[in-house]
A = this chain, B = another copy of it.
C-alpha cells in the first residue's frame, strides 16, 4: 500500500479530489493532505467540500511519500505561489515516483519546470501554457509518460483513477 501526498489548496475542483481520493482509500492507500499551513481547512469551489491540511509546505520531504496527487480547479494556481510547494513538486517529479495530475494541475508542474519534453493532458485553457513550457499536449482522457499520469478534467476521472491505481500496484 502507498502513502500518497495530496497537494491541495483553496477552491479545488471538488470531484477531482473526492472521487480519486475515495478510490485510493478504498484500494487501501493512505492519503496525507499537504498545503499552505497545517490545520487550515480549504474548500472546494463548487460543492464546498472541506479538506483539512495535515502537513505544511515547509514540513514535507519527498522521502515521506510514495506518490503525489494534484487535483485541479483554482488550487494548483494558488499552490504555485508557494516556493516550498514548487520545490517539493520539482524534487518529487525528478525522483521518478508517481505523480497524478488532473485538469489545472499541470500549472504547478509548469512553475516547477518539470514538463519539458513530457506528454501531458490538462484543462483546455492551459494548453498554450503547457506547450510554451516545452510539454507535448495530448488530447486524451489519460496520458502516461514515465512517472507522470495526467488527465484533462472531470469527464476523465474514471480513466484517471484506473491508471493511477494500476501505477500503484
- A binding-site residues for B, Cβ under 8 Å: 74, 77-78, 80-81, 107, 110-111, 113, 124-129, 132-134
Q: Given B78, B110, B124, which contacts A132 in the complex, CB threshold below 8 Å?
A: B110
List 3 tightest A-B contacts by C-beta distance, closest first: A132-B132, A111-B128, A129-B129
Q: Is the CB of A110 within 8 A of B81?
A: no
Q: Given B78, B81, B111, B125, which contacts A111 in the complex, CB threshold below 8 Å?
A: B125
Known interface pairs A129-B129, A129-B132; 9 further A-B residue pairs with C-beta atoms within 8 A, sorted by A's residue number: A77-B77, A77-B125, A77-B126, A80-B125, A81-B125, A107-B125, A110-B128, A111-B125, A132-B134
Q: Once the chains are docked, how many angstroms separate the CA of A142 from the CA of B74?
A: 25
Chain copies in the assembled complex? 2
Q: Once the chains are docked, how many angstroms separate the CA of A92 from the CA of B134?
A: 27
Q: Which residues of B contact A78 (CB under 8 A)?
A: 125
Q: Given B81, B126, B128, which contacts A124 in the complex, CB threshold below 8 Å?
A: B81
Q: Which residues of B contact A110 (CB under 8 A)?
A: 128-129, 132
15 example contacts (A-B, Cβ-Cβ < 8 A) are as follows A77-B77, A77-B125, A77-B126, A78-B125, A80-B125, A81-B124, A81-B125, A107-B125, A110-B128, A110-B129, A110-B132, A111-B125, A128-B133, A129-B132, A132-B132
